[in-house]
Chain A
Amino acid sequence: MPELQASGIFAARVIEDIQSKADSGLYAIRGFGTLRERRWATFDDLTFLPCSLTRIPLEGYREKCSTKTVLGKRFAKKPIELDIPVMITGMSWGALSYNAKVALAKGAAAVGSSNTTGDGGMLKAERENSRTLIYEVLPSRYGINIHDMRIADAIELTIGQGAKPGTGGLLLGSKVSDRIAEQRDLPIGVDQRSPARHPDFLGPDDMIIKVEELREATDWQVPIFIKMGASRVYDDVKLAVKAGADVVVVDGMEGGTGASPAIFQEHTGIPTLAAVCEARAALQDSGVYGEVQLIIAGGIRDGVDAAKAMALGADACYIGTASLIALNCNKPIYEEDYRAIGAAPYACHHCHTGRCPVGITTQDRELMKRLDIEEGAERVRNFLRTMTLEIQMLARSCGKSDVHHLEPEDMAALTLEASAICNLPLAGTRKVFGR
């Protein structure tokens, strides 16, 4: 007997969404990032071409493969020097618990990597526990403090992020605790919506003046990063270069967030693979390839994604979601608490509720206790170290003694789209398609 047929367009999830809107007159807000099935080209559409006859590989476990990473060489007196090319991206204390922020700082420091503040400003414990700390200047300017900026190792001027380009931040009331409210100069318990735009510059021409202000404020010592959600990447990167950025950060569509309207996470911004290719083209056409560094973010899951991003032109990668998963996000523990918020391990994107079962995206002191700082730091350290080993293994197999020597030509495309986007031959054809 034939099975019942459900609509492909009005699928169960869509029906539920429409009826929920009809009930409440409200749109869905959640955390995490893009959830829909990937039907666009991603890093999975590329494969490495290690050495065989034409090139000589390095011994996987023995021969040197440098991972030292220097960012901000263009104008800054003190560029950032990291031991590895993977860094922790800006995530707000507010979206994240205090324990999570400190664990991330310690874990990154333990492997010679960096941490980034986030919406709401700098936590004292963050500066104390970070080896290298990047200070994010966001449209909201919550907690903005010149004294914190002056003890940071870099300033990141954030125009937007990959999960929700073109909009402002969101922190729902259950997470605007007394401490968060004080930090952000807000009433306790408000559903904080922050501005989409910076308050004192509107456009790349004004931004040139803003970058100069940030340099004046930090005595021209530290690198200035400009971070954008991946939208019109080619145009935006060229403008960031003209504005004087030392480092350009592009955050792709698959990037995560603690809370935002679901439609933004699903339907705005271009995928990270496409973004890194556009960004490199913009740097080349601006004549600053090699002079201005590129950091890529947006759903980087492991050393393979990072290595592919670096081969395509990134000098380093930020991880956000992956670092939280390393801290036990979505782990099958406290399972009844997942159910209580309507989620389950491996299928939880409920950061916005403030009731994170593993103590990461919550301000509830009891829940936060479930994330032990030292244990969390060790998990982050392990994950970053393993990512680095993966990048090194792939680089050595391609004959590179430095992970930054990975090139696009070390890869082949597995699909037509990836061939066109990355300007790489389609495996099996020796041809580049779509250009």
Chain B
Amino acid sequence: MANIDASAQSVREINQAIRHGIGRKEAVIVQNPGARHNLGVALLEVGEVRIAGSVGYYCGGLSDGASIEIEGSAGWGLAESMLSGTVRVHGNAGSGAAAALRGGTVVIHGDAAARLGVSLKGGTVLVGGNCGYMAGFMAQKGTLVVCGDAGEAFADSMYATECYVGGKVTNLGTDAVLATMDPGDVVRLEEMLAAYLPPALRKTKPRAVDFKKVVSGRKLWNFDKRAWKIWQEAL
């Protein structure tokens, strides 16, 4: 096991120590993270990292394969552009959590702030609590699950991402529509909830069948074409 004390080291040194530990196939623990930025950025090997406290911006960003567990809260851009791996936050997450995620899983036990899963390109994002303004904005692929309430302008301008909300949807974003959950959706969602939420937390959340499904209405997918002639120089 690699025990790293972040308090006396630069971010660069901390990250080098994390990568070193993973390279030696050790479980890594980072103490005293102090909510600093850019911890665990670009971790490209399979490995386990535990952070005993809060992190700042971009924890787990640009990573591929690592498992990161954050005992405190996270700042902006959690796991941004991650290709694969798992990032879990026990506390809350700031804005842009899972921004441009391409694969893997991001789990937030508490609340997420604005723009959760913005530009989502794949993977799974699961929030135990509530999410803020414009979650799922321009999301393209993948799955977004919010067990609590969704803030304003939910799922605005999406492409093919599927969203599930356990609580209230304050209001739907542009071109977002409620869709019926079919039995396959319910099974899939129940599996996700069971797989990613700790059992004690899972018990306090709604049943899968009580979630609402939100997808794109597809009206913004193409500009309104009336005729080729107009289409030449118009939208």
Contacts and interface: CB of A to CB of B under 8 A. Distances in A.
Direct contact of A and B (CB under 8 A): yes
Interface of A: 20, 23-24, 26-30, 140-142, 144-147, 149-150, 172-173, 184-187, 189-191, 193-195, 199-201, 206, 209-210, 212-213, 216-218, 220, 261-262, 341-342, 350, 353
For the residues of B in contact with A, the DSSP-based class is loop
Interface in B12-44: 12, 15, 37-38, 41-42, 44
A34 to B, nearest CB: 16
18 contacts: A141-B81, A146-B64, A150-B42, A173-B222, A191-B223, A195-B138, A199-B77, A200-B61, A213-B38, A213-B58, A213-B61, A216-B11, A216-B12, A216-B15, A216-B41, A217-B61, A220-B12, A342-B232
Interface in B72-120: 76-77, 80-81, 83, 96, 99-100, 102, 115, 118-119
B232 A209 contact: no
Interface in B192-212: none
A140 B121 CA distance: 10
Contacts of B141: 185
Nearest to A30: B233
A200 B96 contact: yes
A146 B38 CA distance: 15
A54 to B, nearest CB: 52
Contacts of A191: 221-223, 235
B147 to A, nearest CB: 23
A140 B223 contact: no
Nearest to B157: A193
Given A141-B121, A185-B122, A199-B118, A20 B100 contact: no
A147 B81 CA distance: 11
B57 A206 contact: yes
Contacts of A146: 42, 44, 62-64, 81, 83
Contacts of B8: none
A350 B232 contact: yes
A29 B224 CA distance: 13
A206 B96 CA distance: 12
Contacts of A147: 44, 64, 83
Given A146-B44, A200-B76, A213-B57, A29 B233 contact: yes
A201 B235 contact: no
Complex A-B, nearest 8 residue pairs according to Cβ-Cβ distance, in ascending order: A200-B77, A199-B99, A141-B100, A217-B42, A185-B121, A199-B118, A146-B62, A200-B99
Interface in B158-183: 159-160
Nearest to A141: B100
A193 B122 CA distance: 18
Contacts of A194: 138
Contacts of A185: 102, 121-122, 140-141
A27 B159 contact: no
Contacts of B41: 213, 216-217
B63 A209 contact: no
B187 interface: no
A36 to B, nearest CB: 15
B1 interface: no
Given A26-B223, A185-B141, A199-B115, 13 more contacts: A26-B230, A28-B233, A147-B64, A186-B159, A187-B221, A200-B61, A200-B118, A209-B38, A209-B56, A213-B61, A216-B15, A217-B62, A220-B12
Contacts of B122: 185
B92 to A, nearest CB: 17
Contacts of A172: 223
Nearest to A349: B233
A220 B16 CA distance: 12
Interface of B: 11-12, 15, 37-38, 41-42, 44, 56-58, 61-64, 76-77, 80-81, 83, 96, 99-100, 102, 115, 118-119, 121-122, 137-138, 140-141, 159-160, 220-224, 226, 230, 232-235
A186 B99 CA distance: 16
B175 to A, nearest CB: 12
Nearest to A20: B234
B96 A189 contact: no
Contacts of B222: 173, 189-191
A26 B235 contact: yes
A213 B223 CA distance: 37
A140 B116 CA distance: 15
Contacts of A209: 37-38, 56-58
Contacts of A142: 121
**Most chain A CB neighbours (cut-off 10 Å) among B61, B62, B115:** B62
**Most chain B CB neighbours (cut-off 10 Å) among A145, A190, A199, A212:** A199
Contacts of B223: 26, 172, 191
B11 A186 contact: no
A186 B140 contact: yes
Contacts of B12: 216, 220
Contacts of A150: 42
A341 B83 CA distance: 40
A150 B81 CA distance: 14
B62 A206 contact: no
A193 B138 CA distance: 9
Contacts of A29: 233-235
B15 to A, nearest CB: 6
A137 to B, nearest CB: 9
Given A195-B138, A213-B62, A342 B11 contact: no
A147 B43 CA distance: 11
Contacts of B221: 187, 190-191
B120 to A, nearest CB: 9
Contacts of A212: 11, 37-38
**Most chain B CB neighbours (cut-off 10 Å) among A20, A144, A262:** A144
A185 B101 CA distance: 11
B232 A341 contact: yes
